[in-house]
Structure 1
């Protein structure tokens, strides 16, 4: 089992955010895809807090998928499916056999800042195909706004990420809003989170 200190710190606030966003649908069973599930700490907590959601975790890395499997086994999670390999930069038809309009919710936590723009295009393109009408794409991370990054700690974070990979960096909310619209979604809410993080809520129309 892998352990992410950041995931341990922020799972509670993410659960509260998701419970609030999904509250009006808690009377029915939902199907949710998590992109880039990482260690698996988040999806296990989500399942414990929101039993009305069946979760499909995914990750590009085998070690992450192994960690997710270990968390599922350790917690006896009944509403978390076995993790699948999914590269969000690929066309949605290659997304682990997920079918057109099969998801109520797609969640991507701290994925976009550690991804190329091709991956961002893939996330929104895939979400536009796989989400049901009125389905939600929820992204969590740190963002630029209209080309500007504030405060200075976020500028430093952007520099650090770009040193890791020049194709990565803080995505711009305005660019993501346009990507969403081009794929049949509109940005509905921006939720302020801790440490200058934000959750962006996009709805399929």
Structure 2
């Protein structure tokens, strides 16, 4: 089992936000894009038993870690991880059908996505049911400004690794959402200068 100290720190505050958008009286299907070690998805699964979780990860070592966490925690509402490349068209996302998701979670992935960003938002817009939500967590720029200095340095480090990487501006994401039947409903300030962005899929009557 791989261990991410960052995931261990942020899984609780992310869950606190996520729980407000889950109706525990109804069953739901949740997809996590880029599940990493698996620490988040099993933590969410234990706290939100009405949600059946579908982790996904392109890295084979991370897939093994997710399976190990599922086995170790004995959660029964987490499926086997799927291999999903978010830079590919959503129709190639391991056979997931249009409108199959009540919620989608994306944690610390947007700033490490290059040409796949538009494809990812297209996929989210297609896979979410009308009224469904997408929670995107991470550090973001606001109106072209990155704060504090630690996030400025993170942005520089990411771009040194890949010029297409870097902290995404909330306005850029809002516009991508709008073109894919989503709207930015709420923005939550989180610890360590991060945010949770809540995108909601428009109802059919609004689109």
Partner-residue secondary structure (3-state), 2:7: helix
Corresponding residue of 1:2: 2
Pair 1:161 & 2:158 matched: yes
Alpha-carbon distance in structure 2 between the residues aligned to 1:7 and 1:151: 21
Alpha-carbon distance in structure 2 between the residues aligned to 1:54 and 1:169: 32
Alpha-carbon distance in structure 2 between the residues aligned to 1:28 and 1:78: 17
Corresponding residue of 1:129: 126
Alpha-carbon distance in structure 1 between the residues aligned to 2:11 and 2:129: 26
Counterparts in 2 of 1:85-124, with a 5 A limit?
85-116=83-114, 118-124=115-121
For residue 177 of structure 1, the aligned residue among 162, 174, 179 is 174
Alpha-carbon distance in structure 2 between the residues aligned to 1:11 and 1:102: 24
Which ranges of structure 1 fall in alignment gaps of 5 or more residues?
Answer: none
Which deviates the most, 180-189 or 151-160? 151-160
Partner-residue secondary structure (3-state), 1:127: helix
Paired residues, number: 202
Pair 1:199 & 2:196 matched: yes
Deviation of 1:147 after TM superposition, in Å, equals 1.4
Q: Please report the TM-score for the alignment, with normalisation by the length of structure 2.
A: 0.96
Pair 1:56 & 2:46 matched: no
Runs of 4+ in structure 1 off by over 4 angstroms are none
Corresponding residue of 2:18: 18
Corresponding residue of 1:151: 148
Partner-residue secondary structure (3-state), 1:51: coil
Which ranges of structure 2 fall in alignment gaps of 5 or more residues?
Answer: 203-207
Alpha-carbon distance in structure 1 between the residues aligned to 2:169 and 2:139: 9
Partner-residue secondary structure (3-state), 1:178: helix
Corresponding residue of 2:33: 35
Partner-residue secondary structure (3-state), 2:56: strand
Q: Please report the TM-score for the alignment, with normalisation by the length of structure 1.
A: 0.96
Corresponding residue of 2:205: none
Per-residue CA deviation, residues 99-145 of structure 1 (Å, 9 max, x unaligned), is 010000010000001111x2221221001111100011110001111
Deviation of 1:76 after TM superposition, in Å, equals 1.1
Alpha-carbon distance in structure 1 between the residues aligned to 2:162 and 2:7: 22
